[in-house]
Amino acid sequence: MNNTPKPKQPLVTHIYTADPSAHIFEGRIYIYPSHDREHDGPDNDNGDQYLMEDYHVLSLDNFDSPVVDHGVALHLRDIPWASKQLWAPDAAYKNDTYYLYFPARDQENNFRIGVATASSPAGPFVPQKHYMEGSFSIDPAVFIDEDDRAYMYFGGLWGGQLEKWQTDTFLPDAEGPAEDEPALGPRVSLLSDDMLSLASEAKEITIVDEDGNPILAGDEDRRFFEGPWMHKYNGKYYLSYSTGSTHKLVYAVGDNPMGPFTFKGTILTPVIGWTTHHSIVQFADKWYLFYHDCSLSNGVNHKRCVKYAELTYKEDGTIQTIDPYK
């Protein structure tokens, strides 16, 4: 099914989509979103409303061409270790293979991260039998640097369970830091050469302010909540993420892909719906932000739609803040 996109309008309207990871593969724009389901279940901070069961892959030749829905690329029933909730995915290409990274709850109801492979960027993807050993929480994002080293960023608070993994062991009653303590950061691991396993233990990323002080847990306008994304611009590493409760997309900049990162500002102001989730990609000579909101469903949190907007850098390398409704 095809739709012709317009800036800041839903890319597709025949299904509900969210959490878009955009990549340029084979000269074409591919978007890997999660796929929201319609249901009447509970809506809570644990994320029980997000009952996604499969992934569709979207693609387009350029921003003036129709969007193609390539259909189901991976389904929950085909993942031996997973029990429910296929949340925000990402994709990567290496070794003549396309990789799809995804979170799901395991048989013990804990979020883990799995990986599936395909010969085409549109899939279908075949999952590994087990989740990635040492993985936990949600929102994997894979970045391959110019030296061909691959990194996986991940983590999310509340329903994403990151607070439960502060000791690298799942503690079901663990809580996050106090408001005057440093906020929890996303995690990063090196990936193995075959892209199927973690080559290093997960490291917590440090995010600091311009004076070098850690961003505090109570600083909800700047602290990490979920949805880490990494891209590189003019030799600098840009870590962007969602603030969750204040509904912003923000970013920090560093000289090393594993941090530390210095907070710089806001990329996207709040959208319709509880929060947003994004990716940043260069296509031709321009940069684009992909994100979602709930405008297609008039604000229903689990009925979201993917959108995009052009992203602009200032001369000093900072990003021009985007208003999603202007």
Rounded CA separation 26/61 (Å): 10
Whichever domain contains 84, its CATH number is 2.115.10.20
**Per the domain annotation, does 43 fall within a domain?**
yes
pLDDT of residue 45 exceeding 80: no
Residue 3 is predicted with a pLDDT of 47
Which pTM value belongs to this model? 0.95
pLDDT per position as a tens digit, 123-144: 999 999 999 999 999 999 999 9
Q: Could you identify the residue written with the tokens 């604000």?
A: 299
In a domain, 125, yes or no: yes
> Using alpha carbons only, what angle is made at residue 68 by residues 63 and 71, rounded to the nearest 5 degrees?
150
H or E stretch at 76: none
Please state, for a pLDDT cut of 90, what percent of the chain lies above it: 88
Question: Is residue 324 assigned to a domain?
Answer: no
Task: Average the pLDDT over 174-185 and give the result.
Answer: 97
Q: Is 309 helix (H, G, I), strand (E, B) or coil?
A: strand
Q: Identify whether 257 is part of a domain.
A: yes
Domain interval for residue 52: 2-311
- Beta strands 261-268 and 207-208 are parallel
User: In 33-55, which positions are buried (b, 16+ CB within 10 angstroms) versus exposed (e)?
Assistant: bbbbbeeeeeeeeebebbbbbbb
**Assigned domain for 319 exists:** no
Query: Which of 300, 262, 277 lies closest to 155 in space, CA to CA?
Result: 277
Q: In the predicted model, what is the mean pLDDT of the chain? A: 94
Is 322 part of any domain? no
Q: What residues are labeled active site?
A: 19, 226
Q: How many domains does the chain have?
A: 1
Residue with tokens 């990871």: 21
Start-to-end CA distance of the chain, whole Å, equals 28
Q: What is the dihedral of CA 213, 231, 12, 242, to 10 degrees?
A: -10
Does residue 303 belong to any structural domain of this protein?
A: yes
Asked if the structure places residue 239 within a domain, the reply is: yes
pLDDT in tens, 75-123: 999 999 999 999 999 999 999 999 999 999 999 999 999 999 999 999 9
**Residue 49 has what pLDDT?**
67
